[in-house]
Amino acid sequence: MSNTEITAETPAGNRAGPHGESAYVLVIGSASVDVSVMTANLPQPGETVIGHGSLIAPGGKGSNQAVAAAACGAPTRFVGRTGADDFGRMIRLGLAARGVGIEALEALAGVASGLATISVEDSGRNAIVVVPGANSGLLPADLDALEPVIRGAAVVVLQCEIPMETVYRAIGLAAAAGTPVILNPAPYRGLETANIARSVSYLVPNETEAAQMLDRPIRGSRDAEQGALALLVTAVDTTGAGDAFVGALAAALARGATRDTAVRRALLYSALSVTRAGAQVSYPLGEEFERAWSASS
């Protein structure tokens, strides 16, 4: 990992876009539609259970993170692929409605948009199946023409629901441009550490992903446990909580926050997101989040 640190004294927000515009968060990743069902208990293999609610809404880790970054006040652009279908239109309309730039979100003919089926237990636990669909069509060569956009970004945000070769290409282009990278290694598909060790500024795994990366359980210190307990909220649905964290972290860094402040803001934004059902639809809008931030400070 590089020791890149963005501070209030040297904010990423000082960077300028390819046409001289203000710096922005650039999210390169997946965009899908989430089909969620709510149930008292997750079904066991071979079991049918009766649900008590459903929700169809835009999702996908990359799209979620872009929505969170925009809601937290950072100009945000998204690079991805959808199908030329109704779900693709839902994805594009959802991102545009939340203020995300979608000029580089292309619709591919002859392929379905990405889809996730999500079973959500009343406790907040979930079980998710992701079908990448058009997200698999975002290829490394597609990023070459976007080099000026990558160079002008305050920070590039990546996840692993697109081809890993594309993730590595994006990391390489960002490193060459001197643009900081946030990598959320989810879902964990293995990482070629040589491709990321010197080029990723912020690696953001959850506990499971960290354990998979290290091939051992994660056992935090007593202080870390106590700190985590202090941040607990009543969870309704944890879908997209990690994406909310990553997007909020990117937004804070892009706006010139110190690393510690950016992490604290991201923790709060993520915590607020789990108090409602769904992914993007659960994310607080900017004014709501800033009120919560002021109250917590």
Report if pTM > 0.85.
no
Q: Is residue 3 part of a domain?
A: no
Considering Cα of 149, then 150, then 155, then 156, what sign does the dihedral take? Answer: positive
Supply the range of the domain harboring residue 72. 12-296
Neighbours of 24 (CB within 10 A): 25
How far apart (Å, rounded) are the C-alpha atoms in residues 35 and 56? 5
From the list 3, 50, 35, 8, the residue with the least C-alpha distance to 180 is 3
Confidence of residue 230 (pLDDT cuts 50, 70, 90): very low
Strand partners, 35: 56, 117
pLDDT of residue 207: 73
Q: Is residue 6 part of a domain?
A: no
Q: Is residue 203 part of a domain?
A: yes
- C-alpha dist (Å) from residue 173 to 117, 143, 144, 161, 165: 33, 8, 8, 19, 12
Confidence of residue 135 (pLDDT cuts 50, 70, 90): very high
Q: Is residue 55 part of a domain?
A: yes
- C-alpha dist (Å) from residue 273 to 176, 183, 221, 285: 34, 20, 26, 10
pLDDT of residue 17: 64
Neighbours of 260 (CB within 10 A): 9
Q: Is residue 4 part of a domain?
A: no
Q: Is residue 1 part of a domain?
A: no
Burial of 4: CB neighbours in 10 Å, binned 0-12, 13-18, 19+: middle
Is 237 labeled as catalytic in the residue annotation? no
Q: Is residue 110 part of a domain?
A: yes
Q: Is residue 7 part of a domain?
A: no
The two tokens of residue 220 are 């935090």
Answer whether 207's CB lies under 8 Å from 178's CB. no
Helix spans in 135-206 (H): 140-144, 147-152, 164-177, 193-196
Average pLDDT value for the chain: 87
pLDDT per position as a tens digit, 11-68: 455 566 665 667 899 999 999 999 999 999 999 999 999 999 999 999 999 999 999 9
How far apart (Å, rounded) are the C-alpha atoms in residues 295 and 297? 6
State the catalytic residue, choosing from 85, 86, 243, 260. 243
For the domain that residue 223 is a member of, what is the CATH number? Answer: 3.40.1190.20
Number of domains composing the chain: 1
Strand partners, 56: 35
